Amino acid sequence: MKSNNVKILDCTIRDGGLVNNWDFSVDFVRDTYEALNAAGVDYMEIGYKNSPELVDAENSGPWRFCEDRFIQEVIPEIKTTKLSAIVDIGRVNPDHFAPQSESPFTMIRVACYLKDIDKGLDLVESFHDLGYETTINIMAVSNSINSHLVDALQKIEESSVDVAYVVDSFGSLFNRDIEHLVNLFKQYAPSKKLGIHTHNNLQMAFANTLCGIDLGVEYLDTSVFGMGRGAGNCQTELVLGHLTASRYDMKPILKLIDERFVPLSKEVEWGYNTAYALTGLFNEHPRSAIAMRKTEGKDQFYNFFNKLTSVETHLDIK
């Protein structure tokens, strides 16, 4: 397995924040940082770094904004594990960012839909000019038209971005799809390093991540206990347990799971279930499954299938 150049980016607090509205205590996040650092994980994505005035925050926790001064208080000493944050098109003002040399963050990642690729790459240039490592994460790539993706990749190739991510937002991709996409990324953005971000709707998150490694993808998004939106992400502990690189150690993550994530998993729900499998099979955003899991009919998968395949709007999950 070509895992020598692999870097693990744990996005638990960021993607997991979509489950609990970023309601993590400072101690919870500190413990997560210490465990990731002890495990040798390369990056911790500690949240979104959107601008509060551009977001309808609805009592979100501070990890949705990750202001530098706050993060410096939470993690006064950046150890081996570097910090990253992600930003969304239209929800962030890059003028508010300090130069990287004055910030606790090493990397800023830009998430955008394919139609916003120009805006996304404009943001990338701003962060690049400030000295940050940058990535571009094109969401919902499973719904993109091939020629549009090729156009975007050509723009990515001409940009300053460091890493281009294959993002399986809907958890609908299989190994052969990962292979197709990675080969397309390699063909049209040959100078860029590649990353992969998976969701576990079809129990393919880990398998697709391994497929990425085999194809030379270097940046692997993972999350502790799989915590992430809907079906969640590829488990950090599985990747750490599988990779033979001696700098990685899964034990600190197991301790963190026992002390922090098992209790949390009894309060809020994430991870594979049949509803997420269905939105994955239909290559759809998981929002209808997330909504359905909050109703009394949370276990009525047959009914959910019928709503998904109804000619009427299926977002009205009752």
- The closest of 142, 263, 118, 129 to 198, measured between CA atoms, is 142
Residue 172: other Cβ atoms inside 10 A: 22
Give the separation between CA 149 and CA 188, rounded to whole angstroms.
9
Q: Which of 204, 289, 292, 317 is the binder for its own copies (CB under 8 A)?
A: 204
CB of 281 to its own copies, least distance (A): 5
Taking the least distance from each CB to its own copies, the nearer of 25 and 274 is 274
At its nearest, how many Å lie between its own copies and the CB of residue 52? 36
* DSSP alpha helix (H) spans, 135-195: 146-158, 175-188
Tokens at 305, concatenated = 């299938």
205 is an interface residue for its own copies by CB under 8 A: yes
Q: Using an 8 Å Cβ cutoff, are 289 and 279 in contact?
A: yes
Residue 18, CB-side half-sphere exposure with 13 Å CA sphere: 21
Per-residue CA distances from 113 to 110, 157, 213 (Å):
10, 17, 24
Interface with its own copies includes 317 (CB under 8 A)? no
Interface residue with its own copies among 250, 289, 290, 292 (CB under 8 A) is: 250
Alpha helices in 42-139 (DSSP H): 68-74, 117-129
Q: Which residues neighbour 69 within 8 Å (Cβ) at sequence distance 6 or greater? A: none
Give the C-alpha separation, 187 to 139, whole Å.
Answer: 19
Contacting its own copies within 158-187 (CB under 8 A): 174-175
Given 187, 203, 295, 310, the residue binding its own copies (CB under 8 A): 203
Q: Which of residues 252-311 bind its own copies (CB under 8 A)?
A: 254-255, 257-258, 262, 272, 274, 277-278, 281, 299-303, 305
Q: Out of 180, 186, 193, 242, point to the residue binding its own copies (CB under 8 A).
A: 242
Q: Is 210 in the site for its own copies (CB under 8 A)?
A: yes
79 lies in the site for its own copies, by CB under 8 A: no
Count of residues interacting with its own copies (CB under 8 A): 35
Point out which residues bind its own copies (CB under 8 A).
Answer: 174-175, 200, 202-207, 210-211, 225, 235, 237-238, 241-242, 250-251, 254-255, 257-258, 262, 272, 274, 277-278, 281, 299-303, 305
